[in-house]
Amino acid sequence: MQHRFLLPILFSLLTLFAKAQPYDLVIKNGRVVDGTGNPWMYADVAVQNGRIVRIGTIQPTDAKRIIDASGLIVAPGFIDVHAHVEGSLEAQPEAPNFIYDGVTTVITGNCGGSSSNLRAYFDSLRHLGVSVNVGSLIGHNTVRMKVMKMAFREPTSREQADMETLVEQAMKDGAVGLSTGLIYTPGTYAKTTEVVNLAKTASRYGGVYASHIRNEGANVKQAVQEAIQISREARIPVEISHFKVASKPIWGKSTETIELVEAARREGLDVTVDQYPYTASSTSLESIIPSWALADGDSAVLARFHDQTTRAKIKAEMLDGLKKNLRTNFEYAVVASYKTDTTFNGMSISKINQKLGRKNTAATEADLIMDLMEQAKLRRIQMIYHTMSETDVENILRYPNTMIASDAGVAKLGSGMPHPRAYGTNARVLGRYVRDRHVIPLEEAIRRMTSLPAQRFRLADRGLLRPGYAADIVLFDEKTVSDQATYEQPHAYTTGISWVLVNGTTVVENNKHTGQRPGQVLLGTGSGH
């Protein structure tokens, strides 16, 4: 367990040890942006035994190895507060899409979905060895599924107690908090009181409540207010995930949703948000289907699809959703990964409908959505939804309490048509929004990627370039750093980030991944209770 009061003692011991022998590594001649938001400064950074031990002017003779950072920015490693790496990190422990984008730490278990046994999950990562540091939330959907499966009802008192016990055990095993995905089944079936009581359990162990809120479109304000209510009643810090306005009729209303967050903070509630810097989201195809139609397991869902009266009701609700969002068809919904027929990857629902020679109507497209789900045997079909405006993206990015997050897993190069955020989230902020569009200054962008997320998730020795802190360090060229991934060509690594250190070990050297796996599991403050 991490304790802030140990850092000064640790630093003193490291300094004494470092004076006795050469530093393992010194980064020289770079412009240091330390993560606080303060202006950059010229300084050298010394690393010993995985920790930063000195920042200042350091003689080359005092180092076993020198990295010449002339012309480069030296910053803390980026902390991605909203990732989904379960399964994909085990398949690719080098996490290249994250590492090349400067990410040294990920928080996973978001949107209500996590490992159900965090102790075993953390042990497996330690045994495997991974290139990034990993912390995890415990997912409400995971917990509810374990206790109630896909039941569309309130829990009994016994079921509520069982869910609280699972959350408590996860917090003791090292979870950094509780996450919800209130737009997804079965989490969408939960009423606010159920979530409040689970959040109270996480709060007792110093956890954070991270929420994919119940609605990000027409009812986004009510959904933000629900997250704030949970903060108030559970007395827990709240992180609103991938903050957005995802409905054309209310584009521009981000000023109002931000004001809700600010009003909560004035009240004394610890509410913050995170964002990916794109105008498209990415989630499953089933999110278009009314949640009631997805209840009670696969056989019940298929029975509803096959019953003509029920199918007509589902379709009517889908078409009503289009109308409310000022859309005439499902052209905005693009397939990212459909394993049943990979030729559909990268095509919109409307385009697939045309390819299959079906009638060119929204109603036929709604039928197609149900058909695709059935053909995939209701397994997850990943989609990209073009639903946001650039004005809202920039407005949210300007808000000082917005962190940067990818909402991605470890991408397999060349597989499917994933959202480009999996490859270029941080570089896009640094290139497009800092350098090109001047939306926020460089130092402020780095604060949002480093010390702010470290503070939010209580990562006591991460997020700053400070003596005694873990040597998670990124070197990049602010003039050339760029995201290369696009919606049309998503499989492209970030360029311009030339060095990445994780816990003092070089993982990217001169733009090449070294294959090293020095990542650590980062446990929440409740670990060991």
Pairwise CA distance, residues 70 & 127, whole Å:
37
Query: Could you write out the DSSP letters of every residue in 9-20?
Result: HHHHHHHHHHHH
Joined together, the tokens standing for residue 332 give: 């905005």
Task: Name the percent of the chain lying above pLDDT 70.
Answer: 96
The type of residue at 195 is: V
What value, to the nearest 5°, has the Cα angle with vertex 502 and ends 173 and 24? 125
Q: If DSSP codes are grouped into helix, strand and coil, which group holds residue 271?
A: strand
Whole-model pTM over 0.75: yes
> Tell me: the pLDDT tens digits for 329-385?
999 999 999 999 999 999 999 999 999 999 999 999 999 999 999 999 999 999 999
Burial of 461 (0-12, 13-18, 19+ CB in 10 A): buried
What value, to the nearest 5°, has the Cα angle with vertex 391 and ends 385 and 393? 55
Sheet of strand 78-80: strand arrangement: 78-80, 103-108, 133-136
> Tell me: the pLDDT tens digits for 92-135?
999 999 999 999 999 999 999 999 999 999 999 999 999 999 99
Pairwise CA distance, residues 178 & 173, whole Å:
13
pLDDT at position 19 is 54
Question: Counting runs of H as helices and runs of E as strands, what totals does the chain give?
Answer: 17, 21
Half-sphere exposure of 47 (CA within 13 A, CB side): 24
The type of residue at 113 is: G
Signed CA dihedral, 331, 358, 317, 310: sign only: negative
pLDDT at position 14 is 56
Query: Could you write out the DSSP letters of every residue in 352-418?
Result: HHHHTT--SSHHHHHHHHHHHHHHTTT---EEEEE---HHHHHHHHHSTTEEE---B--PPTTSS--
pLDDT at position 18 is 47
pLDDT at position 197 is 98
**Which residues of the chain are modeled with pLDDT < 50?**
1, 18
